[in-house]
């Protein structure tokens, strides 16, 4: 999976059915479609216009069903992470905790901003995870926590992603000014521990398929 240079790369992770595709598509196209094909990882490329600047972004909407997913490559790929759970699915919150724990083991926090995102807030009658629990989990792992509804919220989701992109940009700029030795040691930590996400026998060597949608050519 090759990234175009200069892009801010966001990996969207989480259990199946929590709304990873719904949130991603809502952010990128303003639309809530309802049903999404979730059999493959999708990489979206687009230009993101924020208040005073424009930046190329790549958003990887991962699919948790595949035996080997691009998720295994994200430690060396992503500049930021959105970990989604459903506020009406307790087990998806446990999955989010596991992902946060894996990222924590890789010491990703300092290198890439992480957002813990509770989705399906509109289904309040089915709620299984309190907002406070999300706050506490985020505090434990030193990341941000927000709750949204991909079905109802466009502006909130856009603002949340806008802040994430801005944070990731700052981290990238800071990394660019680090001495070369320190920079490569950060990369090595990620590489060496990348196995946490998959089989030890380097998944990086595996050619993972990932459909690419370039929204610049569609819009
Ligand atoms: P993914 O497997 O994590 O990519 O989940 P999807 O994006 O495919 O969404 C799974 C299901 O949840 C679909 O039927 C969506 O329409 C639904 N869904 C996603 N987000 C929301 C939301 O915010 N509210 C409600 N009510 N349904 C949602
Ligand atoms: Mg999906």
Name the residue of 20, 22, 61, 123 whose CB sits within 8 Å of the most ligand 1 atoms, as the mutation to test its pocket: 22
pTM of the complete model: 0.85
Q: How far is the centre of ligand 2, averaged over its atoms, from the C-alpha of 48 (Å)?
A: 21
Note the ligand closest to the C-alpha atom of 119. 1
For the chain, domain boundaries: 8-217
Task: State if residue 82 touches ligand 1 by the CB under 6 angstroms criterion.
Answer: no
Range among 71-75, 133-137, 170-174 with highest mean pLDDT value: 133-137
Nearest CA to ligand 1 atom 24: 120
Interior CA angle at 1 toward 117 and 84, to 5°?
A: 10
Task: State if residue 17 touches ligand 1 by the CB under 6 angstroms criterion.
Answer: yes
Q: How far is the centre of ligand 2, averaged over its atoms, from the C-alpha of 55 (Å)?
A: 24
- Which residues sit with Cβ closer than 5 angstroms to ligand 2, an ion? 20-21, 38
CA pair distance 92, 17, nearest whole angstrom:
9
| Confidence check: pLDDT of 59 > 50 | yes
Lowest model confidence (mean pLDDT) among 43-52, 102-111, 124-133, 159-168: 102-111
Task: State if residue 18 touches ligand 1 by the CB under 6 angstroms criterion.
Answer: yes
Q: How far is the centre of ligand 1, averaged over its atoms, from the C-alpha of 215 (Å)?
A: 21
CA pair distance 61, 155, nearest whole angstrom:
20
Model pLDDT for residues 73-122, shown as the tens digit of each residue: 567 788 999 999 999 999 999 999 999 998 888 777 678 999 999 999 99
Q: How far is the centre of ligand 1, averaged over its atoms, from the C-alpha of 163 (Å)?
A: 23
The CATH class that applies to domain 8-217 reads alpha beta
CA pair distance 43, 83, nearest whole angstrom:
16
Per the rule left: phi > 0, alpha: psi between -120 and 50, beta: everything else, 14 is left
Contact present, 94 and 122 (Cβ < 8 Å): no
User: 106 vs 165, which has greater pLDDT?
Assistant: 165
CA pair distance 154, 158, nearest whole angstrom:
6
Model pLDDT for residues 68-77, shown as the tens digit of each residue: 455 565 677 8
| Confidence check: pLDDT of 189 > 70 | no
Model pLDDT for residues 175-184, shown as the tens digit of each residue: 778 766 555 5
Q: How far is the centre of ligand 1, averaged over its atoms, from the C-alpha of 17 (Å)?
A: 6
Lowest model confidence (mean pLDDT) among 62-66, 159-163, 172-176: 62-66
CA pair distance 9, 107, nearest whole angstrom:
18
- What is the atom index within ligand 1 of the atom nearest the CA of 22? 7
């Amino acid at each position: 999976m090759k990234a175009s240079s200069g892009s801010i790369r966001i990996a969207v992770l989480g259990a199946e059915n929590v709304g990873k595709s719904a949130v991603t598509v809502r952010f990128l196209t303003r639309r809530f479609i309802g049903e999404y094909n979730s059999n493959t990882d999708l990489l979206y490329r687009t230009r993101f216009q924020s208040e005073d600047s424009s930046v190329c972004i790549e958003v990887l909407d991962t699919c948790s069903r595949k035996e080997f997913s691009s998720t295994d490559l994200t430690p060396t790929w992503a500049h930021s992470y959105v970990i989604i759970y459903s506020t009406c699915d307790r087990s998806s919150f446990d999955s989010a905790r596991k992902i946060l724990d894996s990222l924590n083991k890789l010491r990703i926090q300092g290198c890439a901003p992480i957002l813990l995102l509770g989705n399906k807030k509109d289904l309040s009658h089915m709620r299984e995870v309190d907002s406070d629990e999300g706050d506490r989990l985020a505090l434990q792992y030193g990341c941000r926590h927000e709750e949204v509804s991909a079905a109802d919220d466009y502006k909130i989701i856009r603002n949340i992603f806008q802040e994430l992109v801005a944070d990731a940009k700052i981290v990238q700029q800071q990394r660019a000014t680090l001495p070369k030795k320190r920079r490569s040691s950060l990369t090595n930590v990620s590489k060496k521990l990348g196995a946490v996400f998959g089989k030890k026998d380097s998944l990086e060597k595996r050619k993972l398929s990932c459909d690419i949608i370039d929204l610049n050519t569609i819009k």
